[in-house]
Structure 1
Amino acid sequence: MRSQMDDAKQELLSEAAQLRTSPGGVTAVDPDLTTHLLHVYYRHVPAEDMLERSVSDVYGAAMSHYLLAARRAQGTAGIRVFTPSVENDEWSADGHTVIEIVTDDMPFLVDSVTMALTSSNRAIHVVIHPQLLVRRDVTGQLLEVCEGESHGKDSSELVRESWMHIEVDRETDQGELEAITAHLTQILRDVREVVEDWEKMNEQALAVVADLETSPPPLPQSEIEQGTAFLSWLADDHFTFLGYREYRLESIDGVDVLRAIPGSGLGVLRSDQDMSPSFGKLPPAARAKAREKQLMIITKANSRATVHRPAYLDYVGVKSFDEAGDVVGERRFLGLFSSSAYTESLNHIPMLRDKARALIDLAGYTTQSHSGKALMDILETYPRDELFQTPVDELLPVAESVLHLRERRQLRFFSRRDVYARYLSCLVFLPRDRYTTQVRERLQHILKQALGAETIDYTARVSESVLARLHFVVRAKQGDTLLDFDEADLEQRLADATRSWGDDFVGVIVDEFGEEAGGRLGKRYVDAFPEAYKEDFSASVAAADVRRLEDVEPDKIGLSLYAPVDASPGVARFKVFRTERPLSLSQVLPLLSAMGVEVVDERPYELQRPNGRAWIYDFGLRRDADMPDGARELFQDAFRASWSGAAESDGFTALVLDGGIPWRKVTILRAYARYFRQGAIPFSQGYVEASLRANVPIAQLLIDLFEARFDPAGGDVGDGTSRERRVTSIEKKIREALDGVASLDQDRILRGYLSAMQATLRTNFYQSGPDGAPKTYISLKLEPKLLPDLPEPRPQFEVFVYSPRFEGVHLRFGAVARGGLRWSDRREDFRTEILGLVKAQMVKNAVIVPVGAKGGFYCKQLPDPSVDREAWLDEGVACYKTFICGLLDITDNLVAGGGVPPASVVRHDGEDSYLVVAADKGTATFSDIANAISADYGFWLGDAFASGGSSGYDHKRMAI
């Protein structure tokens, strides 16, 4: 019965099929083929996965795969690895890299390919694996994708193919993409060779059995019977044969060599490469084993399987003997024991059955006794690989120790070295309730350090027993040997590692960051937190804090505003994260106070990390009202801006929480307030701040008005409302709201804001800097005649530039006017100073220039010149540069004689491209700086922008 999701999937596929005639379709194929291909391609993909994709992505993935499959020679595989994008391919895979494979349908394909990707640390997100019946011509050209078993065609014409679409983490490096292609090509070759030779390898195992039976070597009959029974058991679907090859044992210059017999290889050993005598030389341990008069060798190979599953290959060797009973060669099978080999009872497995009986007899029990049955139970659950490889005399002491341990709550450690000295097999038994992933990882870490290991593989068994069992296989780096160790001492270290708060923390950190990064961070932080922190916060909170600490850049801070579970309205907590250097409360508390919150408590925590100290400060906050929607991001962004100096910290900042206004929009209100102060408004900044906080809805409407007037994206909107109509509507709302303001002073302040915004002609607020971020300063071009509270005389145009670092003003009494820019030292009334200068200029230069202009700026963060005069001058120059930029940002340009407005500026006045400046007090040597900025802006005056420069015009001489 089809569900609604299934119906939705079919509708999605139907829409995708229509894209073939849509503009921008990926390709154009027969419409019936498109519909059919989409149906069979996505037949087994769950509907819920399909519905997360767009129509174009569904169509693009299938068609792209179809194009890869268009031609494929018999016995080969087609592979394509790329990262599709809408721009280049007209479809995408959610930003992932896509692997497309077309090959003959064979066993092990998906397992082997995904195994290869996982072993390369490439996370797999999606696997789509349609198995399609296709018809091709002799050249490999795809003729038809068939339906069902034969589509009415001669089955000899049809080929069953596997098409694999796999999405992995995004990879953009071309070399990595080529490496993936090469790796998977080799994997698919291995799979093909294994599948093609599997029957031959199985027959070869049975041929060895027949040879042992008809021409037995001079060995005990029981050993031969055991060997033949075991090989027959392997061939009976208990072993996945992956490779076979025959070897001759020779002595060259006194050194034993296993020389591969050419042409004897099958499966992954089919190739005759690397068959020189030097390649076959045996290390001492292997040399001794090679000459032993023992029929069978069962061990692990040095390499992992590339086919089926990523385990180390099982190695089953059958030695060949001459008539004198000497070893002359070996018939080697490589593969993997099947799952049934690990679950089948020992009583049904030749060799292990005999080994179990011998062990019970050697222990002095009968198979029917209580202890005999208990030992048998231990052997049934013992790591099966260990049973195959461990002699009875080595197995017995371990089995007896486990027998006596079974009901004891203690940790025991047992180890066995591989006969070829390549690895150490370690068994750890511990109380079941103490076993966790975190405990296992700690034990692995201890073993790796104690033994000097490079890799450790493990299996875990947790059953109804009071004990859990871990089996570790510890390997040294190739060419090295594992370190010697004291078994009792190592056992004690492992026992000490099976408990703590850190256990939970490591587990959470691995879940949060993934096994690789989480393991690394777990080691870095598991012992870093102080006890006070552990008492106050859970491991999951610690993991979240670690993420923030890891994101903190040098000299920066991390932030987290959060509400405790039982917090009252208006109550929150705020964490500040810091590395390298601690914070001072005197740095933080004023910023929090300015944001309108009360700090009720503070808890500092110092972390001792291997890579340096870190600090977490946890502040308790309280405010009279509830936190607004989106308070977390608003608060954190505003605090970070104040901390970094991107915004000033004052009473305006409280509007972020009072009105839910982002900090940068609050800066608009702050900039106008600073302009009012220069315009000799009779109210202090503190009172202006209080007036806005007392009338938050009006403050929000003022921001809305500014946006409606100047946001370049705020032209005609979807409902057809024009900018002018929206401005008029907001102005009306403000006036209606002002009628409800009781205080006359507050009414005057708020109406002053309204008048100033109405008098504003341009702003650079919506411009971005070279880095794409909003500019760090605000320029406002005003028409002062609309502001009756300004002192006389009022210029025709005025530009006010606000920045946390400086403030500046440029007064222009006509469309064509020039004048110098002064570096003022009068913080509170530099506009009054500039206004006086321009009045004097107009009298002095009346003959040269009918109207004058003058500008000036005040630096608010100057270093002490008596301490560092160079830093003082550098700050002044930096402020001057920004002031010049602020003027040019909103000035029209002339290009080819025509006016060009500045980018992202809405103009409420006519064309205004004349801007000429000159030097004045404090800026006598700055003209070249101004001209360089003019050149960077491409301003039409070029180096004539600022007079007095080394290559500029003399404006007085030219009567400009």
Structure 2
Amino acid sequence: MENSWKDQLHQALIKQLGAKKGNQFAKKYLPALSMSYCEQHTVEEAIGDLLQIDNLSPENPLAIVFYESPRGEYPLHIKLFRYGSSIPLSDILPMIENMGLRTYTERPYKISIDPNQFIWIGDFNVSYAHSNLLTLDQVKSIFNEALIKIHVGVCENDGFNELVLGAGLSWREIAIIRAYAKYMQQIGFRFSQQYIEKTIAAYAEIAKKLIQLFYLKFSLKQNTASKNKMAALELEIQADIDAITSLDEDHIIRYFWSLIKATLRTNYFQLDAHGKPKNYLSFKLHTSKVPDLPPGQPLYEIFVYSTEFEGIHLRSAKVARGGIRWSDRPEDFRTEVLGLMKAQKVKNSVIVPSGAKGGFILKKSISMLDREQLKQEVIHCYQSFIRGLLDLTDNYENDRVVPPPKTVCYDDADPYLVVAADKGTATFSDIANAISKEFKFWLGDAFASGGSAGYDHKKIGITARGAWESIKRHFRELDVNIEQQDFTVVGIGDMSGDVFGNGLTYTPHGLLLAAFDHRHIFLDPKPDGRKSFEERQRLFNLPTSSWEDFNPKLISKGGGIYKRSSKSITITPEVKKALAIAADSLTPNELIREILKAPVDLLFNGGIGTYVKASTESHADVGDKTNEFCRINGNELRCKIVGEGGNLGFTQLGRVEYALTGGLINTDSIDNSAGVSCSDHEVNIKILLNKEMQQGKLTEKKRNQLLTKMTEEVAQLVLQDNYNQALVLGFSAMNSLTYSGLYQTYIKELESIVHLDRSVEFLPDEKHLLERKAAGQGLTRPELSIIMAYTKIYITGELLKSDLPDDPYFAIILNTGFPSLLIKSYANSMQTHRLRREIIATQLSNQIVNSMGITFMYRMQIETGQSVADIARAYIIASKAYQIDDVHQLIDSLNYKVTVQTQYELLHHVRQLMNLATRWFLHHRRLEGGIANNIAHYSQSISKLEKSIPDLMAGVTKEYLDKIVSQFVGIGLSEEAAKKIAATRAMYTVLNVVEVATQNKFDLGRTAEVYFKVGSTFSLVWFRDQIGSDSREGHWNSLARLSLRDELDNLQRRLTIVILINDQKKLESDELIAYWFAKNRFIQQRWEKLLEMLLSSSSIDYTIFFIALRELSTLITVE
């Protein structure tokens, strides 16, 4: 029978394939067919099987046929053909069942072509619950393809695959549903994936319509007809969902619909270099359109789905930057990335881009991979993730923004995407930049900063140098000059690290008593400062090093280097004394806690891990389980200063707790912001120079040489920002109690205008602020750091909404973001920089806050009702007219020559001047004349009067000026410089002098003499001194003081005009006023009587002041 059947098959092969090919098939395959196979298959079935077998190879090892046959209990069969080996049932059965089928029997066959080549056939008899609805010819092709893709791992094996038969969807179409479900898992959707799979399979027809909607929305053929179809389909979907009786199922299906509506772009229709669909799927979503998300979400996000990895990239603004990390949190990596994005947003407040963050997870099991295999898998997934982001990012062609190919976009042009290194991707900048080049992305190697042609942060030492600007500010407040005086340090880290290594080679005056990293504990209770410093330099310059490489001969008596794996460590008398330890022996973790609690001058964090929390927090709240046994509370610290070169060394509440005990600390985002700032400068410079390269005006080699040449100047630009931020925080901390009421209302305002969340940022509520005030405490530096960051974010955002960055005058602000070499050589090109507006807004925001303090803009807004942009314009006019940059430089030159308190007092007077002058320009509507014209007019007049003003002053202001001038001349300043600093207290009045002289065409010098003489003669100076000494808090008290000052200014101007108009005899100013009084005896007598009553009053009463000034105004009018 077997031979007869094979003969029939041979003849049938010749008939179907022709004699030559039929004979070849018969010779090759007929001997391989077993008796059981021959008995159970017809000739026609065998021919079909042999055709499948002939297509198999090591490169194409699998084929599937979904068919109907009367054999078996059920008509449906799946036949699997596998080259070389069988498929374990434990692998294949779940795949079949996840497609909605039940398997009853399997008939296996082995086709041995030769001893080294065989084919395995598995014939499965299956049933389908909805077989009455199944048309096999319509689905078998997509079924066969899907099962193959599942088996090879291109398609995931889960319940979504039921949609192949249930909805007639291909495996790629199902991937759309699956990708959205994976995203739903990351945003904390309350239903499990299994329940979602079950629900979507139950409503397969709606799932099919959702995919149709996706196709209509994003297919390239967009026209009126497709839009009409889409609108009609949405109505159908709405009706279908409304008909669902289960609330939970309604919510699930409706959420898929919402996500499609929230999607702005997808790469689903894009093709790879081989013309095939890409093996990952990217969605760009407008996050505000995603339902049920809590506050504090990004503006945009891109979710990239693949069977190999999943990733998310969150951006808080269109222009945003942040690192891409390899996450180890597969269940909630979006939560991790969102928290980091929020932190990055705060950290980036000093630079052009807002905060962004990205993260990806590996889905392959890594337990069986060796180190090199794991590295390659991470790189592969990182590359695909980066491509998935660039797939949905616009590009520039010349100066025209172009969307990605084969992509329908439902958002505005969006060409800015910049990434950075992060956890697990520290060395990947060149990899990312290679992909940028592959995409011909306009940013080139500015896409990922810090690559081989970028600034090497470790080589420059920029992060540590920035941290030292904060530390030096703290030491100045303790009257310690670290360039001349020794101070004690304990540290977290080792000399091989960028931040710790650069940090501990900054000055030889830092006496390092102890340090630790994840391997060792270093103890040197009485170090030789110079020798220890030189040894640390040696270790830092080694290719790799640890504390074990430190020369033990250079360690002082009682010190040593100990492994953290030790069971216990003996504490010597010298170490006990140096670190104030009582115990004779400690475990490594116990010793680390004692090091953290050491009574030293400085704790420098340059390592990894969170070591300090608040006493109100649990270790679980912190999240860093690795270091919980060596962690302490903020109130246990005994150091005077903390420098946070590393990230996350303290929790925010830990910082606040330490600061409330008197410790000097900012935040990690302030102290180590130099790294972020340096990268931003690099990106902005490369954007400028890359355009020159694209136009053929500059070679890459020359550009790289230019970057190298500018390294130190870029570093100085960065460090100046760190200096200024530390200064404004120190000044604000000193005055935070005085202005606690103002901060209380300002925080509420920030909650409204920039969605500041006190609970997220750990800021005290109003109750706790009042309790602090009652205890004599204001906001701490860590809290002020957060408020300052949100202030800068707000100001920058408002400036960008305005036309201020488009004003040609602000080219001078643009220049402050670039090295002088670029300003000199590429001034014209800078004006067309693609981030021109953003750089201007950021630089101006930084300048305003760093110079004027955290609450300046808020106070100006509530006092004047003007916009941020107009206040900024007025401030620029005032600062340039008074040459305030020169005054700041003079004050900075007093570092270590006068106390910080004296410097802060001088800064207070500068700020008072700028407050009043800014308000004056707004009040007198001087913005209409143009910024440049106003600056030219007022600066010229102020310069003319500057030297004579000190001699015209009177009252308390005159006494203060003489005292300050004497003090500053005594420490070596020229009398001219001393007077320039001191005179800021009274220079505001010059604006009124200029106004009177200009409008009435009076001589400027003569007007000044009379103006100041009027002030003293009419005791208006006394009024100002009284108002200035009033420190009562509250919005209305503040407005009352401002109104009184305005009234005083108005009266003094009017009196000056009235008197000068009568100046027909060209008398001296004293004589002129006496002459005027003689003519107006009643006014003099009435005013002197009012003054006598005021001077006898025991307290300041605004009501009396207003009445008195109104009386004087009336008297002048009568005159």
TM-score range, shorter chain: 0.3 to 0.5
Which protein is richer in helix relative to its size?
A: 2
Q: Say which one has the larger Rg.
A: 1
Higher strand share: 1
Work out which structure has the larger RCO, using CA pairs closer than 8 Å and 6 or more positions apart in sequence: 2
> Structure 1 length as normaliser, TM-score?
0.46
TM-score between both structures, scaled by the size of structure 2: 0.40
